[in-house]
Amino acid sequence: MTLSRPVGYRSAPDGTHPPLDHPDYRSTAPRAPSQPPIVLPHRLTEVTGPLLAGERIGERDHDLTTQHDGEALGQRIVVFGRVCDSDGRAVPDTLVEIWQANAAGRYAHPGDNWSAPLDPNFTGGGRVVTDSAGNYSFTTIKPGAYPWSNHHNAWRPSHIHFSLFGRAFTQRLVTQMYFPDDPLFAQDPIFNSVPDPKARQRLISTFDLAATRPGWALAYRFDIVLRGREQTPFEEPHD
Ligand SMILES: [Fe+2]
CB 141 within 8 A of CB 71: no
In a domain, 239, yes or no: no
Half-sphere exposure of 205 (CA within 13 A, CB side): 26
The neighbouring-strand residues paired with 3 are 236
Which residue out of 146, 167, 200, 220 is catalytically annotated?
146
In a domain, 51, yes or no: no
* Alpha carbon of 234 to ligand 1 centroid (Å): 42
CB 156 within 8 A of CB 25: no
* Alpha carbon of 87 to ligand 1 centroid (Å): 30
Q: Does residue 146 have an active-site annotation?
A: yes
CATH of the domain at 81: 2.60.130.10
Domain count, the chain: 1
Q: What is the pLDDT of residues 6-57, one digit of tens each?
A: 778 988 889 999 999 999 999 999 999 999 989 888 999 888 988 876 778 9
* Alpha carbon of 146 to ligand 1 centroid (Å): 8
Phi then psi dihedrals of residue 90, to 5 deg: -60, 145
Which residue out of 76, 156, 200, 227 is catalytically annotated?
156
In a domain, 42, yes or no: no
In degrees to the nearest 10, what's the CA dihedral of 196, 197, 202, 206?
180
* Alpha carbon of 178 to ligand 1 centroid (Å): 11
Phi then psi dihedrals of residue 172, to 5 deg: -55, 135
Q: Does residue 107 have an active-site annotation?
A: yes
Which residue out of 159, 167, 200, 229 is catalytically annotated?
159
Burial class of residue 81, CB neighbours in 10 A (0-12, 13-18, 19+): buried
In a domain, 238, yes or no: no
Range of 160's domain?
Answer: 28-32+57-225
In a domain, 3, yes or no: no
CA distance 143 to 107: 9
Q: What is the pLDDT of residues 137-193, one digit of tens each?
A: 999 999 999 999 999 999 999 999 999 999 899 999 999 999 999 999 999 999 999
CA distance 45 to 6: 10
In a domain, 235, yes or no: no
* Alpha carbon of 51 to ligand 1 centroid (Å): 27
Q: What is the pLDDT of residues 53-81, one digit of tens each?
A: 677 899 999 999 999 999 999 999 999 99
In a domain, 115, yes or no: yes
CB 87 within 8 A of CB 228: yes
CA distance 29 to 24: 9
Q: Please calculate the CA angle 162-167-171 and round it to the nearest 5 degrees.
A: 55
CA distance 76 to 187: 27
In a domain, 154, yes or no: yes
Q: Does residue 238 have an active-site annotation?
A: no
* Alpha carbon of 239 to ligand 1 centroid (Å): 50
